[in-house]
Structure 1
Amino acid sequence: MTTASPRSAWEALAAGPVRFLRTSWPWRVVGWALSGCLVAVVWTVAFLGLVVVPVAALLALLTGVGLADVERRRLRLVDRTAAPSPHARPRRPGFVAWFATRFREVATWRELGYAVVFALVLAWLDAAMGLVFCLGLAVVLAPVLIALTPQVQPDELVWFGPYPLLAQLGLSLAGLLLLPVLAYLVTAYVAARVALTRVLLVGRGGPAPHAEVAELTRSRVRLVEAMDAQRRRIERDLHDGAQQRLTGVAMTLGLARLELDGTTGPARELVDRAYEQSRLALAELRELVHGIHPQALVDSGLPAALATLADRSPVPVQLDVTLPARPPAEVEAAAWFIAGEALANVAKHSGAAQAWVRARTSGGAVVLEIGDDGRGGADPAGGTGLVGLADRVSVLGGRITLSSPDGGPTLLTVELPCGP
């Protein structure tokens, strides 16, 4: 039966104290404890250097992000369990989007606090524990060092004496017996420090669930983007291919009708029927293309697209759109899709005599409100597509709320962030 390889120094120690001493884990533990001083000194110099420069003072506040990233990577020396970053991925590329995202995150300020405590206290406490082990190692190796370096006299090594060689060998033997105890103590301390670092720089929920949630969110975003791209491709193919051919068929049948004008018989009836069917098919295809992605949304933006939806709605719609700037394309597409689905639900289920659509910008987000004066009682579990709308909003990091008491009115409110 094969035993799984330890993933941390603590697991290696718990698996067998004697075997632990024969591995590289004790040396990795000591190396981790001592290397923190260098990280602390570099961060302190960088932080103080940025603080004294007025234009870079804000950047100094984000230096904790860099130190935290180094600390999560340094954990691999003593703990192979993944330590992913708790930060969100900026919604847009570039330094400005990255800076704005990091500046608003709680994790950024938690990391800055950790960096200050680490540089002032923790790094030096870690180093002290590492030096304790090194001191025990020096006691063991002192006779060998003295024998190899005759120019170093025993009285210059304060803790050795001038002891006779036999006494030094006895002290070396005592150090050899003490060294495993020191290795165990330092490893236990490092295990506690690793746990503290994980709580502060990764999160209490654990790294694996966080990583899975982050990857799931990214995969949902990629899926929505792929679906939008596929819809645009289908729209283009239908508009440039099938719709043009069907238009040509309708025109040909129209010319055939002119040639058969004034005649009677089965041939004329078949041509008339084919002409009407081609016109109906062309109208249905245009409806389908329009429903995939309206050209008004691409050319004129969300206000024009919402106006088109309002004009086509069977229920009269009051439209109030106030958008000082054009939102990002993915926000426009989501808002148009949600408004279209909501108005379709109004027409099918509400029994309303009036509906309204309002869109405005508030706090860096597009706020969309769709309401009606119908019977109310809308239920997300009732198959009205509200769950799909909620999924679409959540992918963009937005929020959706529904108020629909029995007897109405119904109000669907959606917030779609436009920031990085």
Structure 2
Amino acid sequence: MITTVGAQVASRRDDDPAPLLGPGELLKGPFTGRALRQQGYLLGSFGVAFFQVLWMTVALTVGGPLVLVFIGLPLLLAAVAGLRRASRKERQRILNLTGEHVPTPYREPGPTGNVLQRLLGHVSDPATWRDLVHLLVSATLGAGWFTVVVTTWTMILGGLSLPFWYTALPHHRIPLMHVNGSEYYISTLPAVVTFAAIAVVFAWFVGPTLLELGTRTQTGLGRALLGLSRPELDRREAALRTTRSQAVSAAEAERRRIERDLHDGAQQRLVALAMDLGRAKSKLKTGDEADSAAAAQLVAEAHEGVKLALSELRDLARGIHPAVLTDRGLDAALSALAGRSPIPVEVDAALPWRPSPEVESAAYFVASEALANMAKHAHATRAWIDLDVRDGRLRMSIGDNGVGGAEAQPGGGLAGLSDRIAPLDGILSVSSPIGGPTQIIMEMPCPKPSAS
């Protein structure tokens, strides 16, 4: 029997919209760092969209008629894959410009299999069609924003240089318009300077406003079409509520376990220790030799009780967060855990980097509880733990050669393990057919730490 418990947690979006455009920004014109970044974003978005539309047009035109003979499939796959790459670049540009992360909406990061399977994987994903709509709209609007950027710089640079080169025009004049057969133009230097000044001032003050409008339109379009759809947002919101409840339940279960272990173990031994020391004190007060011998025996028993209580407290602390986990990491902590197990346990850990403390603690808890359950119920003669990182996810497999039959039931131990890792976007899978073997697979995100 195979059961999978746990939930994927929605990725967070850091809402950091661009600041409002104030009068101070307008007075600085299109030469501020903000305006230059906006111009680079608009030109880059249009350039990528234009060339992607051109490439997809060629690929679809050539590859479409050749689909029946399978020669066109690689071209169609390249076109669709290129569409996804263009959308990924647009999300990165939005992040670089506004600081806002647009979450990836795809069902799977990259479809696998042969060419046809990968093509169908792309085409069957609704996010691919939203990418296509965004590409077409972005290319259309981008042409307008490209014109705005070019016109702004043309008016400013042309206006500033116009008095120096207008004499090279035919008849040394600048034609303005024709009305009822009459031509209106300017040809004197004062008129040319005035005309150039008006063009520069107009572009200087209107340019930033148009750039702001274009940037907000393009980034809004990207957030709407390249991010998560409303059903996906609702699903992830429900997943967040579930994992939040699971986190609270896991914390409450952990608190009750600690209280129970303290009450049933160390607390009872300390109470017995206090009673033994009280009796020894009473016997020592009498001064009788027999009572002194009995008091010595009670003190010896109390000494043994203290050692047992300390051992139980160490075991309890080890079950919460052992010192070796903090000092030497998850692989060393799992090796120490295997050394204390009554079942021989083989540990194979290959970690290219050290996970975050939260991931280490959750993985150690899963391994500790799984080995404890195996020792109690599996009747196994050996167990194993395999630990590695694949595609940015920590994967731990715990298995034994016991009788099997483990189930992830609500309120049970395996469900508790799932609740422990669910807030970290973890998934727990249990395979335990009757007769064995049992295998528990845990996966959690484990991003590589930054160099800083």
TM-score relative to the length of structure 2? 0.46
Higher relative contact order (CA 8 A, sep 6+): 2
Structure 1-normalised TM-score? 0.49
